[in-house]
Amino acid sequence: MTAVDDGGPVMLAAGRRVEIIDRLRRQGTVRVRELARSLGVSDVTIRRDIEALVALGAIEKVHGERSSSAR
């Protein structure tokens, strides 16, 4: 899911969150900075997405990293 911004396409929250979960399943952990860079959004945006996924029980936060609870 993308929207068009003046700077080009921007992935919407639902698409980013799916991507975060997919990466966690593949890699086991993710870093905010790497996600932000690859998805073209700010660190703050990724942190908000992660907090939303934690609140839903989709992922859990461990020592500053994120891991999938759906393993």
Is the whole-model pTM more than 0.85? no
For 41, residues 6+ apart whose C-beta sits below 8 A from its C-beta are 10, 11, 16
Is 60 contained in some domain? Answer: yes
Is 2 contained in some domain? Answer: no
> Per this entry, what is the length of the chain?
71
Q: The tokens of 24 are what?
A: 């966690």
> Tell me: the pLDDT tens digits for 11-53?
799 999 999 999 999 999 899 999 999 999 999 999 999 999 9
CATH number of the domain at 31, please. Answer: 1.10.10.10
Show the domain range for 58: 9-68
Q: How many CB atoms lie within 10 A of CB 64?
A: 8
| C-alpha closest to that of 20 among 46, 41, 57 | 46
State how far the Cα of 35 lies from the Cα of 52, in Å rounded to an integer: 15
Is 29 contained in some domain? Answer: yes
Is 42 contained in some domain? Answer: yes
Is 3 contained in some domain? Answer: no
Q: How confident is the model at residue 4 (pLDDT cuts 50, 70, 90)?
A: very low
- Please tell me the total count of domains within the chain: 1
